[in-house]
Amino acid sequence: MSSPHPTPGGLWLPLITPFRDGALDEASLRRLARHYAGELLDGLILAATTGEGLTLDEDETARLVAIVAAELTAAGRRLPLFLGLSGSDTRKMVKVLAQTASWPIDGYLVACPYYTRPSQDGMVWHFTALAEATARPIMIYNIPYRTGVNLGNAAMLELAALPNIVGVKDCCADMTQSFDLLRRKPADFAVLTGEDAFFHPMLTQGAEGGILASAHVAPGGFAAVLDRVRSGDAAGALAAWHAISDIPPLLFAEPSPAPIKHWLWRSGLIDSPEVRLPMTPVSAGLAARIGAAAEAMRARPAAPALAAAAVA
């Protein structure tokens, strides 16, 4: 069945959620939204893993969505907003879809049920129930090293036939599985890698893009890799990738999103690098490495093609 929804693609950012003194830092959030409205991005994910969504209460999540949506409108930038959701009770997830039906979002990124480790059939029925409970598009988030269960390609392709299951954030950590999905998927079902370090190889194998936490840093560099792969410039894409490939290992050297928040705080985009327990701040050693990398990036001249690129 053909999907009535646009197929997601390009470079998506799973936005961090800034905190200060234990509360949602709305001033920093507005600054972030305005900043990334001017970057070469194709979509934003709110309140997902990088956004510490599991630590947000409903009121905070609603304010987060409203503020980002309002700032994008004020900036004149039409970026799709997807809300990150996770849970292991299908009934409760259906209720959340109903509760967020009036929110200014365009779709959902929904993680596979965590901890309970359902069967493949159980996950198909879970996502089918969610797809039937909303008219909005849903991207599946397959990340077995967090959830404890892997949604296999047979089940994924069964779900891809549903009209509002539009893609997957692929973090299966098995390149054989990922490449097999890319070969077999329908054209209107998007595979966006969520493994930042695999961005270039996944694009060369046909992935539609990525949902990359590392794109908080030098989003133009990640956009350049995507652009050059799409244009068939293999050498240029590889060179662009080599220019930024040291960023993902640095930002995932300790549990995310603490390293990203430290970089953004050091760069003045947010007023505090605060994370919520059980996340903890970066170590002194990693803070020093991030500081050195940020200084080196600041000293690096911008690529002419990116400096001239227009934001849609």
Candidates 141, 145, 185, 261; catalytic one = 141
Candidates 36, 108, 169, 185; catalytic one = 169
290's CB contacts (< 8 A; 6+ apart) are 250, 259, 262, 263, 266, 282
Instruction: Say how far apart CA 224 and CA 240 lie, in whole Å.
Output: 6
Given a contact cutoff of 8 angstroms between Cβ atoms, the answer to whether 160 and 186 are in contact is yes
Q: Which of 180, 134, 101 is nearest to 5 (CA)?
A: 134
Is 169 marked active-site?
yes
264's CB contacts (< 8 A; 6+ apart) are 16, 32, 216, 270, 273
Instruction: Quote helix, strand, coil % in the chain, to nearest 5.
Output: 50, 15, 40
Q: Which of 136, 67, 128 is nearest to 100 (CA)?
A: 136
Instruction: Say how far apart CA 130 and CA 79 lie, in whole Å.
Output: 24
Is 108 marked active-site?
no
The residues assigned a catalytic role are 141, 169
